[in-house]
Amino acid sequence: MDFLQPGTWSDALAAKAERPAAVPIAGGTDVMVEMNFDRHRPEALLDLTRVEGLAAWDTDDGPVRLGAGVTYSRVITELGDRLPGLAMASRTVGSPQIRNRGTVGGNLGSASPAGDAHPVLLATDAVVEVESAANGVRHISIGDFFTGVKRNALAPDELIAAVRLPAASGPQQYAKIGTRNAMVIAVAAFGLALHPAERRVGTGIGSAAPTPRRAPAAEQYAATALDEANLWDSRDPLPPSIATRFGDLVAEAAAPIDDVRGTARYRVHCLSVLARRTLLWAWAEYRRDETGKG
Amino acid sequence: MRVSCTVNGESHEADDVWPGESLLYVLRERMGLPGSKNACEQGECGSCTVYLDGVAVCACLVAAGQAQDSDVFTVEGLAEGELLHPLQQAFVETGAVQCGFCTPGLLLAAHDLLRSRPRPSDVEIREALAGNLCRCTGYGQILDAVRLAAERLADRPSTQLGG
Ligand SMILES: Cc1cc2nc3c(=O)[nH]c(=O)nc-3n(C[C@H](O)[C@H](O)[C@H](O)COP(=O)(O)OP(=O)(O)OC[C@H]3O[C@@H](n4cnc5c(N)ncnc54)[C@H](O)[C@@H]3O)c2cc1C
Ligand code: FES
Ligand code: FES
């Protein structure tokens, strides 16, 4: 097995083009488990931790451009204000040691339906920036990125450079059901973002379908219901009926399976509760935050 | 491949390393530093916790080649000769060590906590140790040990945390 350790992004792309079967490794928190248990012995490892600039973030052109190599710990400490939803989701990942090493790029690379970054990325309309030596940069909207269970839209010669998402313009939430508070793969998870300027609510469902996905009918319902009641302007309390209906529609968007972590029925129930609660929490914050963020 | 890195301030080299093996394996089997323990090899138990360039990580999830030229700190670096580190001393005194298998990782995780939060709340201690499993103590004495060490270190501001 070869160990490739490029120091620059162009060298990394060249290495991936030349050796499409090389497995990229960032924090290694997914890759190393596979190797330690002999589940997968790739012909080469492509270490991305030395690639200059891959672990940086910036806001130069408006949205946050989060380099693929930024760890969860750094999202929490450095981006809690700009990306509150992603920071909340990051806090639920594994343990301190896992958060110190695991990256958002690695989460996208693994594309697990239970990946904790994904629901918030969906709720905030993130765009994944991927690149290959031959074809340059592609921007893939997050809704098109997940193509199947643990599969994503990357071509064999492509690497994930970054994910772009807008700095929060309103309250965001992330909630996850698991068997304990630390170190759990979600039984069901839900990310939510209020977009007050656009009078819109973004959603993302985790662990309850073959891929992370949105709940479009719930988004449409929330946009219409909040607008018709003039709630964005009045900032009046959210009628419980709206939150409940929203929760039901989110649950309807799921397509879960029975597995060791939970039954499909339980997951659907979890989602209706998570969606209802996160909308109520986010709305309460929106009401408190008179000045608005947007 | 050859892997060279600094461990506890000393330079180390290992030859004929298979690039897919873990830093934990390199430390234990190739560098003669068996303090970091191998219990799960999947990031779940924290008994292999080390600092990699100052960041607390599971050594079982770091590929050997990723440690090239890095600065590693392990439990072996905590004591100064025969003098136990205040955290180690507190673990001994409170009965936080039974079989001891989890102890090296817990010491590092607790060390990482105390260097950023010298006076942690119980919630913060629990949160910081959430990635470390102990099958013997039931955790009560471990929390006691961290509280005791925090108190002593805070009472003696001149005492370096070390590491
Ligand atoms: C004990 C434990 C607990 C965990 N808990 C959680 C949890 O609570 N929630 C959660 O979501 N996940 C969890 N995970 C899974 C894992 O930590 C996450 O998926 C993490 O985001 C992976 O990031 P990484 O940098 O470690 O990825 P790696 O393991 O380095 O890579 C993961 C995948 O992405 C690919 N990849 C990495 N970077 C790139 C890139 N730039 N371009 C293209 N492909 C790339 C790799 O080839 C690989 O297929 C846990 C893992 C462990 C071991
Ligand atoms: S051996 Fe590394 S976490 Fe268990
Ligand atoms: S003392 Fe035995 S596992 Fe903790």
Distance A56 CA to ligand 1 centre (A): 17
pLDDT band of residue B156 (cuts 50, 70, 90) is confident
Query: What residues of chain A lie within 8 A of the CB of B62, using their CB?
Result: 28, 32, 101
* pLDDT > 70 fraction of chain A, expressed in percent and rounded: 98
In 3D, which of A193, A192, A284 has the Cα closest to residue A231? A284
Same domain as B127, residue B105: yes
Same domain as B94, residue B30: no
A240 phi and psi, to 5 degrees? -55, -30
Give the Cβ contact number of residue A139 at 10 Å. Answer: 9
pLDDT single digits (tens) A68-122: 999 999 999 999 999 999 999 999 999 999 999 999 999 999 999 999 999 999 9
Same domain as B9, residue B72: yes
A255 and A195 in contact (C-beta within 8 Å)? no
B50 and A104 in contact (C-beta within 8 Å)? no
Question: Hey, whose CA ends up nearest to atom 3 of ligand 2?
Answer: B43
For residue A201, list its beta bridge partners.
Answer: A194
Same domain as B73, residue B107: no
* pLDDT > 90 fraction of chain A, expressed in percent and rounded: 90
Distance A29 CA to ligand 1 centre (A): 5
pLDDT of residue A181: 77
Give the three-state DSSP class for B4.
Answer: strand
Give the three-state DSSP class for A221.
Answer: helix
Strands, E assignment, A68-227: 127-132, 136-141, 146-148, 151-152, 159-165, 172-177, 188-195, 200-206
Assigned token pair, B101: 């298998």
Residue A6 touches chain B, beta carbons under 8 Å: no
User: Looking at the domain assignment, is residue B162 inside a domain?
Assistant: no
Is pLDDT of B16 > 60? yes
Same domain as B60, residue B9: yes
Is pLDDT of A196 > 60? yes
Mean pLDDT of chain A: 95
Residue A36 touches chain B, beta carbons under 8 Å: yes
Same domain as B20, residue B39: yes
Distance A66 CA to ligand 2 centre (A): 29
As for how many domains chain B has, the answer is: 2
Give the three-state DSSP class for A133.
Answer: coil
User: Looking at the domain assignment, is residue B104 inside a domain?
Assistant: yes
Please measure the distance between the N-terminal and C-terminal CA atoms of chain B and give it in whole angstroms.
28
pLDDT single digits (tens) B69-123: 999 999 999 999 999 999 999 999 999 999 999 999 999 999 999 999 999 999 9
Last residue of a domain, one of B54, B77, B100: B77
pLDDT of residue B160: 56
- Specify the CATH number for the domain of residue B97: 1.10.150.120
Question: Which residue range is the domain that position B42 belongs to?
Answer: 3-77
Give the three-state DSSP class for A222.
Answer: helix
Assigned token pair, A121: 């990325």
Is pLDDT of B15 > 70? yes
Last residue of a domain, one of B77, B98, B119: B77
Per-residue buried b or exposed e for B110-133, using 16+ beta carbons within 10 Å of the residue's own CB: bbbbbeeeeebeeeebebbbbbbb
CATH 3.30.390.50 fits A172-288, yes or no: yes
Query: What residues of chain B lie within 8 A of the CB of A27, using their CB?
Result: 61
- Biggest alpha carbon distance in chain B? 48
Same domain as B58, residue B104: no
User: Looking at the domain assignment, is residue B30 inside a domain?
Assistant: yes
Question: Hey, whose CA ends up nearest to atom 21 of ligand 1?
Answer: A107
pLDDT of residue A294: 45
In angstroms, what separates the C-alpha of B65 from chain A's closest C-alpha?
7
Same domain as B105, residue B56: no
pLDDT of residue A41: 85
Last residue of a domain, one of B34, B54, B77: B77
Is pLDDT of A190 > 70? yes
pLDDT band of residue B125 (cuts 50, 70, 90) is very high
| Ligand with the closest atom to the CA of A34 | 1
pLDDT of residue B140: 97
Tell me the average pLDDT across A42-55: 97
Assigned token pair, A91: 């806090």
Which sequence spans correspond to the domains of chain A?
1-46, 172-288
